[in-house]
Chains A and B, each alone.
Chain A
């Protein structure tokens, strides 16, 4: 559950949101200029009618020429006003949309700056929700609330200016409206924030209950608890109904009906003012008309503003979540800007120890060397620390004890770009992006179509791709669900190989392959490893028998090391694992 935000925090969030408008200064200025023009034009109409009534209609002074002028100005202003209003509305929308775009880009950029640690512990859905849903809620605020508050606020001010222009004394009396309206808004805001929050909580309770019941329906039914759950649900449903009715009553007490009372009272003030003055001397009916007309226009904007207060609350909550995300400090390991280049690809781990949580070491004093062009295989049971070695080598996680060197230089001293360019990682779950096969192999690299085909050939993927209806232009949808995992892996191989990395890291790349593609994958792996330093985490021991060195990990330590034959001869953990995978019968033949 979230902590309620204090008034101060709410203001801070609002200020930070508003600061995003700084980049749009010119558009903002233009939009305000249009808004003020439109408001001024809107107010001209009743004034013209006033002039017409007082100067021409009542004295029955019907000079054609000035009347045509007045009529033309009237029609002219409403037309120009329509045009100006249109552009003003569009501009405000544009500002809101641009601000949101910038906010989205900021959040997305921030996402890429975060460390793997954050991604490993945070459900993907909540990250996605930050970038899209929360920004969408803030968009509602910019579009619905801010634009509407500014527009309606300016309009209300304009009306008061016009009223002062017409009759200072009466306008002064009308100022009493402001505190009354202010009080209404504050009261409504106060209660609605309480009631609205209650309503939202009931709703989320209701949804949670429903969702949970649907998920656990099998349990509910098998334990015969339908009746009890029905009653529980009915209770929550009823609370939700009551909260809804309460909200509705509050709206009824303080929104439109209340504003309308204020309107009638304002009319009463105007009528008594004119009525009482009329007792002493004749008054100008046109001014009365204009006042009535202005007041009529004053209240719709106020209604609009009040109805949108609830959006504001929602946006502030989304804003607080969003800024909390933007302020996260779990950044990816920083790399020195350096020109050190990887030439050969010799890898060395020196006494590396590592812990994810700062308590329990998942790697203990790991040391090994991989000579350029050689292959080292890491094997071990789940949780033995194999993947942690890859996480450190790839700089997904920062380490503090020991050192990892490539060509004799610590990986901390290479630029990230240099490391990424030279280390090709193939994951257990080959991830395919939306796009064609060609796009998936090319990614963002500068490659000719020939180079792509060549990479595919080298990893045995070409034949499989050629069989697809549209070959390299075949569209990958739903993360490649239409392909077998082996086929997906071949495409991922091609993608990695197309970069021509000096170092290859295979993170259980052969874990989920199917019998159809097994041979192709085996051949592909051999081709890929030629001339490259390779670190292979292997689930299937059969795929790494020819490795130059095999490291057997157990609980973060290297417990055995040697070639396949040496390890089998040791009759230790590796031997047991090998037996497990191949059945006891074959073992004798291998040794």
Chain B
């Protein structure tokens, strides 16, 4: 029940809805007492033969009014309580989303997206249930149960009430026992199902092997066994699950039996009228629900508490911090790296060491090296995805850490390696950072990235939906849309992180040429596997294992013996093989 305390802030926030809802619920519980009473009174009149049209009419009107009132009030408490509960999940979901947008990359490295999704869906669902159904069950079972018991005991007979309630504890005990048993067996059934799931997963992934060996039949047989296991475990669940209904109806049946037997005796002695006995049994019927509801309540609250704890933990995770005196002006100027050391969180190895270079404003820097050499890391430090390094990175007048994060990033157009597109139109993707850009601006950016001609071929041109749920684009097309997205900003610094890898050599050259033209006076940093992409850079650095092993321009590096020249020649050869070889001419 602690979760109700934890959620108290929300109940207070929505106190109007909750107080109204709870009052309505209680009125409903009171009104529910009326029909059995009316039935009893009518039975007595009918039995004694003193029914008149007037009496009958009056009671029928009372019943009708009660029925209509019940209908209206039941509808409105639902709106109050369930409506408030839905608000809670909306509010928490917004809070979670905002929180997610403020989390640093290290958070996303630690957490799996699937788990985060589960928090925002399943956990919120459970919390909503607690604030809705949980509150309802608590209030309803207490009020209805209490009122019915009180009415039975005071207006009919407390003796008969006690006697007929005797078997009820058996029901409470039995159902809670069954509950634990079902839970244990259900876990086993879940396990069997997930093992079946694994089996299918394995068969699908290993389909080629299975087909190559011709083991289809054997695999089906093994699947049949697993699925029989699932049936077996589920029947074990069903065997306990099926106990609930008969037990309840048996206990209720015995309870009715006691009520009628002892009630009849009291009728004979004149303590009770027949009508009161009929009312009594109808009240007894009303008691079944509160009894069961109490069992559920524990279940709902238990789940709600666990979920709320998980969500709260998530919300307490450290957000990205921003200092108070951060500089709000967008930086521009030379870029100077003097990074002594950088390691990723939870990693022992140095990702970067002794990185020192200065890039004049308007120059182009090319960074090359093997996979894992630290090229991307170098860029990530610049956009401040990570800031726990030893040393300094200066941009213009100041350290990059002195700028407000948004001011720094306003100066940067970043094209990351994994070209991620949103499920939106091409236009919306390109205009991602400038949602109100004009069609012309978008088109110019697309032309600059040499993707305009491709887009013109799409069925809906710039309104074509791309991304996961849209048309599938080639890697090169995705890359160029990502480039257009960054170019639209006409940023002070453009970062291309291996962004031309899936583009053919000719297009690459065209893009680089138009960038050179259009971005005069602006800084560009390019990392690449393919040396042709950085061949014309003003400064080239070669990284290996997080260290700079060579610096220079293409011309100076080609004169040196080393990684750069070896790689350049190798790539020349590779492109030859790709084109089908031809006759080899030694150079």
Interface residues of A (CB under 8 A from B): 42, 45, 49, 52-53, 57-58, 60, 62, 71, 74-75, 78-79, 81-83, 85-86, 89-90, 93-94, 97-98, 100-101, 104-105, 108-109, 111-112, 116, 119, 124, 127-128, 131-132, 136, 206-208, 210-226, 228-230, 233-234, 237-238, 240-241, 244-245, 248-249, 251-253, 256-258, 260-261, 264-265, 267-268, 271-272, 274-276, 278-279, 282-283, 285, 288-289, 292-293, 296, 332, 381, 394, 396, 416-417, 419-421, 423-425, 427, 431, 433-434, 443-444, 479, 499, 554-555, 559, 571-577, 579-580, 584
Contact = CB atoms under 8 A, between A and B. Distances in A.
B242 A425 contact: no
28 contacts: A93-B234, A93-B242, A101-B230, A104-B196, A109-B220, A111-B204, A119-B204, A210-B117, A214-B113, A217-B100, A218-B108, A222-B385, A226-B102, A230-B94, A237-B97, A248-B79, A252-B79, A253-B75, A257-B70, A260-B74, A261-B67, A261-B68, A261-B70, A271-B42, A274-B46, A288-B43, A431-B205, A559-B580
Contacts of B246: 81-83, 85-86, 89
Interface string B329-373: 000000000000000000000000000000000000000000000
A62 B101 CA distance: 79
Contact of A417 (B108, B214, B231): B214
Which of B83, B117, B209, B385 has the most chain A CB atoms closer than 10 A to its own CB?
Answer: B209
A221 B204 contact: no
Interface stretch (B256-264, B294-302, B456-464): B256-264
Given A132-B197, A292-B39, A396-B211, A214 B79 contact: no
B209 A78 contact: no
Given A112-B216, A417-B214, A420-B213, A248 B78 contact: yes
A285 B247 contact: no
Given A93-B234, A275-B42, A211 B113 contact: yes
Contacts of B121: 207
Nearest to B210: A112
B47 A212 contact: no
Interface in B37-94: 38-39, 42-43, 45-47, 49, 51-53, 56, 59-60, 63-64, 66-68, 70-71, 74-75, 78-79, 82-83, 86-87, 89-90, 93-94
A381 B580 CA distance: 8
Given A222-B385, A223-B432, A576-B584, 14 more contacts: A74-B257, A86-B245, A218-B108, A226-B102, A241-B89, A248-B82, A258-B71, A260-B70, A265-B67, A275-B45, A285-B278, A296-B282, A431-B209, A572-B581
B46 A283 contact: yes
B184 interface: no
A111 B205 CA distance: 12
Nearest to B279: A292
Interface of B: 35, 38-39, 42-43, 45-47, 49, 51-53, 56, 59-60, 63-64, 66-68, 70-71, 74-75, 78-79, 82-83, 86-87, 89-90, 93-94, 97-98, 100-103, 105, 108, 113, 116-117, 120-121, 193, 196-198, 200-216, 218-220, 223-224, 227-228, 230-231, 234-235, 238-239, 241-243, 245-247, 249-250, 253-254, 256-257, 260-261, 264, 267-268, 274, 278, 281-282, 285, 383, 385, 406, 409-410, 412, 414, 416, 420, 422-423, 432-433, 435, 467-469, 485, 569-570, 573-574, 576-578, 580-584
Contacts of A132: 193, 196-197, 200
Nearest to A89: B242
B333 to A, nearest CB: 20
B209 A271 contact: no
A77 to B, nearest CB: 8
A75 to B, nearest CB: 6
A278 B577 contact: no
A504 to B, nearest CB: 12
Given A244-B86, A261-B70, A265-B67, A94 B53 contact: no
A112 B414 CA distance: 46
B214 A420 contact: yes
B252 to A, nearest CB: 9
Nearest to B90: A241
Contacts of A554: 580-581
A372 B277 CA distance: 97
A261 B75 CA distance: 12
A559 B202 CA distance: 39
A531 B204 CA distance: 33
A345 B464 CA distance: 53
B180 to A, nearest CB: 19
Nearest to B70: A260
Given A124-B204, A576-B584, A580-B574, A136 B193 contact: yes
A223 B43 contact: no
A237 B87 CA distance: 10
A104 B225 CA distance: 12
Nearest to A262: B67
B238 A93 contact: yes
A256 B382 CA distance: 61
A478 to B, nearest CB: 10
B200 A131 contact: yes
Given A112-B220, A211-B117, A233-B97, A89 B245 contact: yes
A336 to B, nearest CB: 15
B580 A71 contact: no
Contact of A222 (B64, B268, B409, B423): B409
A421 B207 contact: no
Contacts of B214: 416-417, 419-421
Nearest to B434: A223
B197 A425 contact: no
Contacts of A101: 227-228, 230-231
Contacts of B215: 443-444
The 3 closest A-B pairs by CB, nearest first: A420-B214, A573-B581, A78-B253
A271 B61 CA distance: 12
A547 B329 CA distance: 68
Contacts of B201: 124, 128
A215 B420 contact: yes
Contacts of A241: 86-87, 89-90
A282 B43 CA distance: 12
Given A212-B467, A240-B90, A431-B208, A275 B46 contact: yes
Contacts of A288: 43, 46, 278
A98 B573 CA distance: 62
Contacts of A116: 207-208, 211
Nearest to B569: A584
B465 to A, nearest CB: 11
Nearest to A84: B246
Contacts of B234: 93, 97
B47 A58 contact: yes
A417 B38 CA distance: 79
A23 to B, nearest CB: 14
Contact of B268 (A60, A234, A256): A60
Contact of B93 (A124, A237, A555): A237
Given A208-B423, A417-B214, A296 B64 contact: no
Given A82-B247, A105-B223, A212 B468 contact: yes
Contact of B211 (A94, A109, A394, A574): A394
Given A105-B223, A214-B108, A433-B206, A128 B200 contact: yes
Nearest to B64: A268
B295 to A, nearest CB: 17
B198 A267 contact: no
B70 A272 contact: no
A576 B577 contact: yes
Contacts of B261: 71
A293 B196 contact: no
A296 B469 contact: no
Given A261-B70, A283-B46, A292-B278, A479 B205 contact: yes
Nearest to A444: B218
A566 B120 CA distance: 65
